[in-house]
A = this chain, B = another copy of it.
C-alpha cells in the first residue's frame, strides 16, 4: 500500500524549450471546411464536440471552403487585409518608438492580427468590446484615428487619457472599446454586466468579452461564465489562445481539459474553436456568436487558436523560454499571408499590389506618427499637466484633493 499509494506531483511542461526543435505535432488541425455550421439556435448539448475541433475556412491552396465560407465580399476582404497590414505596420513603428525611448512600454499583435480585425467587422455600431491589451485591431478596423492611439502611447499633450494610463491602454466609448485595464480578467465579468444591462433595457446592443489563454485561470473568468449562463446575457465570450502567457505555456492554465473552449461546456454555453489566423473563419464564427447574442439565445464562448509570434511586451525576451524558431513552425501560418494568398487566388490582389500597399500603409503610419510626435513623446515635448493628474478621480474634485493640488502648486 505505502509504495503503491505514493503520490507524485505533476507539473505540465511544453513540448520543447530553448535549444529544442519546435514541435507542434500534438496540435491536431482539422481540414479547412470540415467542421459543420449548426443553426444559431442549436441545442448546445448537441455540439459539445465543437469545443475540441477547429473551424477553418481557408485551406492551404488559398481557397475558402466549407459551410463557414462565403460571408464576405471581395471589398470587405481587401479592407480586412488592409486593417491587418495597418495593425502590423503600426505595431512595428510603435515597438521601434519604444526602443528609441519615446515611450515606456509597448505590446504587439504579431501573428494575431486576424482575431480583432475580423471580429470588429462582425459587430454593429453601438456594440461594446471589453478588450485586453492585444485587441487594438478592434480600433483600427473601426476607423479610430491612429494619431489618437499614438498620442496615448506617447502620453503626450494630446493624449485622450491625459497621460494617466500605461501606453496602449486605450479607451473609446464611441468606437465600442471599453477602457483597458492592466488587471487581467476583470473586464470579462464587466462585459457580461454590460450585456445584462442592455437586456434589462430592452436594447439591441450586445457585448464582447476578451481574455487571453493564461488569464482564463483568473477567478473573474468564472464569475463571467456563471452570470452569462444564468442570465443568458447577450455576450460573446472570446478567449484568445496564443499559446503563451508571458513565459508560461498554455498548458498551465488549461490543465487537463484539452482546450479552453471546453470551459464553456460546464455552463451549457455553446463553445466553438476557430482558427485564429484565418480572417474568414474568425469573421464567420464571430457573426454566428453575435447573432446568437442578438437573438436572445444567450452567450457563446469562442476560442481563437493562434500564436503570439512576438515577445509578450517590450519588457520581455521570449528566447529565454521557447525556441526561437517556434513561430515559424506554427501550423496555422500567418494571418496576413493567408488572406493575401486567398485574394491572389481570387485574382483580386497581386504580390505587387501587396508590396505597394505595404509601402502606402507605412507612409500613413509614419505620417500619423509625425503628427503624434508633434504633440510630444513621453520624455520630450508637450505633456499632460500636473493638474490633469488631480482631475477625474471623481466627477467633482473633493476638498482633500483640492488641498493636495494646491500643495502641488497647480
Contact = CB atoms under 8 A, between A and B. Distances in A.
A348 B155 CA distance: 82
A258 B203 CA distance: 28
Contacts of A11: 231
As for how many copies of this chain the complex holds, the number is 2
A251 to B, nearest CB: 8
Contacts of A226: 217, 253, 255
A321 interface: no
A266 B268 contact: no
Interface in A279-299: 294-296, 298
A179 interface: no
B230 A223 contact: no
A229 B256 contact: yes
A199 B9 contact: yes
Nearest to A196: B9
Interface string A45-75: 1001000000000000000000000000000
B256 A7 contact: no
Given A5-B294, A204-B5, A262 B262 contact: no
B257 A2 contact: no
A234 interface: yes
Contacts of A199: 7-10
A202 B6 contact: yes
A252 interface: yes
A266 B256 contact: no
A176 to B, nearest CB: 16
A191 to B, nearest CB: 15
A269 interface: yes
Interface of A is mostly: helix
B252 A257 contact: no
A210 interface: no
B230 A12 contact: yes
Contacts of A12: 230
Contact of A257 (B217, B251, B257, B267): B267
A408 interface: no
Given A202-B8, A262-B266, A298 B256 contact: yes
A340 to B, nearest CB: 34
B232 A10 contact: yes
A231 B254 CA distance: 11
B7 A198 contact: yes
A221 interface: yes
Contact of A255 (B220, B230, B254, B258): B230
A7 B264 CA distance: 22
Given A8-B199, A219-B219, A222-B222, A253 B266 contact: no
A7 B293 CA distance: 9
A255 B234 contact: no
Given A6-B202, A256-B267, A266-B266, 18 more contacts: A6-B203, A7-B198, A7-B203, A7-B204, A7-B206, A9-B200, A12-B230, A44-B256, A221-B222, A230-B255, A230-B256, A231-B255, A232-B256, A256-B298, A257-B266, A258-B268, A264-B266, A266-B267
Considering the complex of A and B, which 6 residue pairs feature the smallest CB-CB distances, nearest first? A219-B219, A229-B255, A222-B222, A256-B268, A5-B204, A230-B255
10 contacts: A6-B202, A7-B204, A9-B196, A10-B232, A44-B256, A222-B222, A230-B252, A230-B253, A256-B267, A257-B266
